[in-house]
Amino acid sequence: MAERVLIIGGGGREHALAWRLAQSPRVQRVLVAPGNAGTADCGKISNSAVSVSNHAILAQYCKDHNVSLVVVGPEAPLAAGMVDDLSAAGVLCFGPSAKAAQLEASKSFSKSFMDRHGIPTARWSSFTDPQEACAYIRGADFPALVVKASGLAAGKGVIVAKDEDEACQAVLDIMKDKAFGSAGDTVVVEELLEGEEVSCLCFSDGSTVAAMPPAQDHKRLLDGDLGPNTGGMGAYCPTPQVSEELLQQIKATVLQKTVDGMKEEGAPYVGVLYAGLMLTKQGPKVLEFNCRFGDPECQVLLPLLKSDLYEVVKDTLRGQLASNPPVWLDDSAAVTVVMASEGYPGAYKKGVEITGLAQAAEAGLQVFHAGTALTEAGGVTSNGGRVLTVTAVRPTLDDALRRANRGVGAVGFPGAVYRRDIGHRAIAYLRRSRL
């Protein structure tokens, strides 16, 4: 029997989820709420105007429209208990409970959890008083230069300071000036770790973890990792800096330990677990957890998934990952390049016309929409900071980057900002390893 699936969210991650789920022969229709121009009436995929903030209305909508599975894309609905409320109403929902989602929703909880369960992470402390936080920064016997809003801040609540003065100013910006609203009522101050940052995600059914290929996100706006931090300007997968041996170590010491710890604490973790890691000289250490697919990591992971995503999700919810682990392509690399609005991550214009989408598709590229909207005439315009991502899958990373960059050249809108060096660390690593 063909199923109807509802995806919660409207960004590039949700477009990628819809695109992949629609490929399943088990899925008849994919609805996306609220969706974007890329998920509007596209084959099996269409947008839904249902309210996602009222969980009772959402549950009734699912029953009225024969929706058999809900997949939650962003973190805020998970932290707000969407999975708990829909499950209680008899609607199958993919993602962690609100209690399990604290791993992302509260950095203070997350750091304490890691300490309780011996999961490697940076030295840290949390504060509700800005003066105490600044005293800690100036008195620590290590560089306490990473300042984080403890709550959800749409991926932007982290400041990596260059010195103690800048770190203290970050504390004041977050706690006194409310740069991230109530998310900054508590701040976490951390040791600055050195090394290379990678993203290691897994599916978890509450007991078993199935690791995905390692990916690397590019947070800075400009080539060469310059400019301000963003929600992500591109990603690639797999990451050659993470060997199979190292991935197994991360799986055992971070991912499995986290899932075992959550189960032990009465909050079984079911869904996608994302560990942002720093590869230090002392080994991999956790920078942060996310309780869902990353964006833009999702746009390079799902194109490399060989298994049927719908079946993987169902096996995860049934607790059957041990007997049915997902299978990934092992002879391909994926690169996605984000095209952002001029001015992002600050103020930017909306309503800018986008051209060249058909040409990119004809070139064998996948364009995932994020901040886009349809015009009455059927055109597509920008409607957010990160507008879209252009993804290429090729046998090698070099080739995938070249192809993605060509695709970005085909797609256009005035003032578009994007990087041309996604994957540069991996390419440099591969060149060094050939010497």
312 with 430, same domain: the answer is yes
Predicted confidence band of residue 286 (pLDDT cuts 50, 70, 90): very high
Same domain flag for 163 and 304: no
Is 78 inside a domain boundary? yes
CB 321 within 8 A of CB 315: yes
Note the pLDDT tens digit of each residue in 155-181.
678 888 889 999 999 899 898 889 888
Percent of the chain, pLDDT > 70? 99
What mean pLDDT is predicted for residues 386-405? 95
Looking at the 3D structure of the chain, how many domains does it have? 3
Q: Across all residues in the chain, what is the average pLDDT?
A: 94
Q: Per-residue pLDDT averaged across 175-194, rounded? A: 88
Are the CB atoms for 272 and 305 separated by under 8 Å?
no
Look at residue 54 and tell me whether its pLDDT is greater than 70.
Answer: yes
User: Is 100 contained in some domain?
Assistant: no
Tell me, what CATH number does 135's domain have? 3.30.1490.20
Q: Look at residues 143, 167, 190 and tell me which one is the last residue of a structural domain.
A: 190
Among candidate residues 420, 220, 238, the one with its CA nearest the CA of residue 329: 238
Find the domain containing 25 and state its range: 3-94
Q: What is the pLDDT of residue 1?
A: 63
Give the residues across from 147 on adjacent strands: 159, 189
Strands 226-229 and 220-222: antiparallel
Cβ contact 193:287 at 8 Å: yes
Question: Same domain, yes or no, for 363 and 383?
Answer: yes
pLDDT at residue 113 tops 70: yes
Same domain, 154 and 201: no
Confidence of residue 229 (pLDDT cuts 50, 70, 90): confident
What is the distance between the alpha carbons of residues 280 and 417, in angstroms, rounded to a whole number?
Answer: 31
Question: What is the reported pLDDT for 353?
Answer: 96
Q: Which of 190, 208, 236 is the last residue of a domain?
A: 190
**Does residue 130 form part of some domain?**
yes
In the predicted model, what is the mean pLDDT of residues 257-271? 98
User: Could you tell me if residue 328 is left (phi over 0), alpha (psi between -120 and 50 degrees) or otherwise beta?
Assistant: beta
The CA distance from 140 to 126, in Å, is 13
Residues 250 and 275 in one domain: yes
Q: What pLDDT does 431 receive?
A: 86
* Residue 88 belongs to some domain of the structure: yes
Residue 269 forms part of a structural domain: yes
Q: With bands split at pLDDT 50, 70 and 90, how would you rate the model's confidence at 264?
A: very high
| Residue 152 or residue 247, greater confidence | 247
